[in-house]
């Protein structure tokens, strides 16, 4: 099913991340991370934030991490970002 959606998205020139419900990550240096298509924050400390997505959790590590903004479509994390990892869904 995902292969069909991907093919259709490419043929119709639609954004693949939206059609497949994939997260889109945009980093500004090591200071800010925008995660679109999220499903909420599941863990939060100043050194680690885990964001749920349809393709599995995304763990962000760093120093002084804070939520700069959040809405139903996007979350912005600010601080000194040291790592971003796609974790296995549990």
Tens-place pLDDT, residues 3-60: 776 676 677 676 666 656 789 999 999 999 999 999 999 999 999 999 999 889 999 9
Length of the chain: 90
The Cα 47–Cα 13 span in angstroms is 39
Per DSSP, 13 falls in state T
The pLDDT, as a whole number, for residue 2 is 64
**What's the pTM?**
0.82
Both tokens of 33, joined, read 């991370």
Give the fold, CATH level 3, of 23-86. Answer: Immunoglobulin-like (2.60.40)
25-38 confidence digits (pLDDT tens): 999 999 999 999 99
pLDDT number for residue 48: 98
The per-residue pLDDT for 69 is 97
């Amino acid at each position: 099913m995902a292969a069909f959606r991907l093919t259709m998205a490419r043929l119709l020139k639609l954004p693949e991340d939206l059609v497949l419900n994939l997260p889109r990550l945009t980093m500004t240096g090591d200071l800010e991370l925008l995660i679109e298509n999220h499903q909420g924050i599941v863990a939060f400390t100043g050194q680690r934030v885990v964001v749920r997505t349809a393709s599995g959790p995304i763990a962000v590590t760093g120093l002084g991490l804070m939520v700069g903004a959040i809405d139903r479509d996007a979350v912005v994390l600010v601080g000194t970002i040291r790592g971003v990892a796609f974790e296995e869904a549990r």
